[in-house]
Structure 1
Amino acid sequence: ILTETQRDDFLPPGVFRLDAEPPHDGRTYVMYHGTTQAYAQSIVASGFRRSSGGMLGPGVYLSRDLQKASRYPPNHPEWDKVVIKVKVNVGRVIVINRQNHPFQKTWSNQGYDTAWVPPKCGMVRSGLEENCVWDPRRIQILQNTYCVKA
């Protein structure tokens, strides 16, 4: 049986592993989305839906960092948390690296497909990276099972 890390060694062609660098325009990355069991079942059945808001405004919040995604939703019982593993074509990416960035919540209106918050930039308490994808059609669930243990 392969561990999660070993499975990631066999990524599909054109899919990139998490590095310290930002996501590059037009590339496809493995990402993770933390949620509850009930929401995960809904996502698997009907696909992702854009949130109405958040730190980066509306979109689907994901991370290339499994540890980041496994913390969500915060203040929720561990037994009900699951992580969905996906691949995402990020399209055109904007870096949002500080609070009150001029496009922090309006990046999608500026022609960007994904907003990326770098690790350790002071925007996220955990210091881990975050991505917000505007169009849920850019996201494809990778595994038959949506429960990925961190």
Structure 2
Amino acid sequence: MFHQLCYSWEEDDFQLLSGIERIGHKQPNCNKTYVMYHGTTRTIATAIRREGFRQSSDGMLGRGVYLSRDLNKASRYPIDPSLPDSERVVFRVEVNVGNVIAINYQGHPRQKNWHDGRYGEVYDTAWCPPNCGMTRSGMEEDCVWDPSRIKIVKCITPTPRQMSGNPFYK
């Protein structure tokens, strides 16, 4: 019999502290704190724990720290098909989102300059709603300008599971 090792991403139920929220697909409310997730490699996770989060140099929403309120989305990062799940981790974090802007279509005039006062109001977080055409996955995404708004709560690792069966017969 053939045994294949696969991984699943699960999180234990946890108690939210007062004033911290989980939110589904609604736009985050300004100046609230939410549970979010950030996927990375084990190696980079060690550096993040030691030095804190750093802004990415660029991305769909420009510079910032990319997060999602969806554990399933975060567990896909970094996007690298050659990286085994056993080398991935996801941080559960609490984020004070500050002033939030919805970037809900490609080419939005504030897509990459939402944090820059030269272009209008300054925002702390850019939010892409689910199914708006901004992400291939159709899942929501958040980009936080100031890493000090992010507090690591827990590091989640995938759980190994054994699958039995012959891969040639289903």
TM-score (norm: length of structure 2) = 0.81
| Aligned position for 1:130 | 141
Whether the aligned pair in 1 keeps the contact of 2:38 and 2:91 (CA below 8 Å) is yes
Q: Give the alignment's Cα RMSD to 1 decimal.
A: 1.4
Cα pair 1:31 1:64 within 8 Å, conserved = yes
Are 1:112 and 2:117 counterparts?
no
- Specify the alignment match of 2:34 in structure 1: 29
Find the counterpart in structure 2 of residue 147 from structure 1: 156
**CA contact 1:18–1:65 (8 Å) conserved in 2:** no
Q: Measure the CA separation in 2 of the matches of 1:117 and 1:68.
A: 13
Identity %: 56
Distance (Å, rounded) in 1 between the aligned partners of 2:12 and 2:104: 28
Distance 1:112 1:49 in 2: 18
Task: Give, as a single letter, the amino acid of the residue that structure 2 aligns with 1:88.
Answer: V
Q: Which has the higher contact order (CA 8 A, sep 6+)?
A: 2
Match 1:79 to one of 53, 75, 86: 86
Is 1:121 paired with 2:132? yes
Runs in 1 of length 4+ with deviation above 4 angstroms? Answer: none
Q: Give, as a single letter, the amino acid of the residue that structure 2 aligns with 1:141.
A: I
- Residue 15 of structure 1 corresponds to 20
What secondary structure sits across from 2:111 in the alignment? coil
* Count of aligned residue pairs for this structure pair: 144
Distance 2:79 2:11 in 1: 23
Residue type of the partner of 2:156?
A: C
TM-score of the aligned structures, taking structure 1 as reference length: 0.91
C-alpha separation in 2, matches of 1:107 and 1:46:
25
User: Which segments of 5 or more consecutive residues in structure 2 lack a partner in the other structure?
Assistant: 1-9, 160-170
Q: What do the CA deviations read for 1:22-41 (whole angstroms, capped 9, x no partner)? A: 10100000000000000000
Instruction: Select 1:44's aligned residue among 28, 37, 49.
Output: 49
Contact 2:88 2:158 in 1 (8 A): no
Q: Deviations over 1:126-146 (max 9, x none)?
A: 010000000000000012xx2
The structure with the greater share of residues assigned to helix is 1
Q: Do 1:56 and 1:115's aligned partners in 2 also have CA atoms closer than 8 Å? A: yes
CA distance in 1 between partners of 2:157 and 2:61 (Å):
25
Distance 1:122 1:5, change over 3 A: farther
Please tell me the residue identity of whatever aligns with 2:113.
Answer: T
User: Of the two, which has the highest radius of gyration?
Assistant: 2
Per-residue CA deviation, residues 29-76 of structure 1 (Å, 9 max, x unaligned), is 000000000000000111000110000000000001101100001123
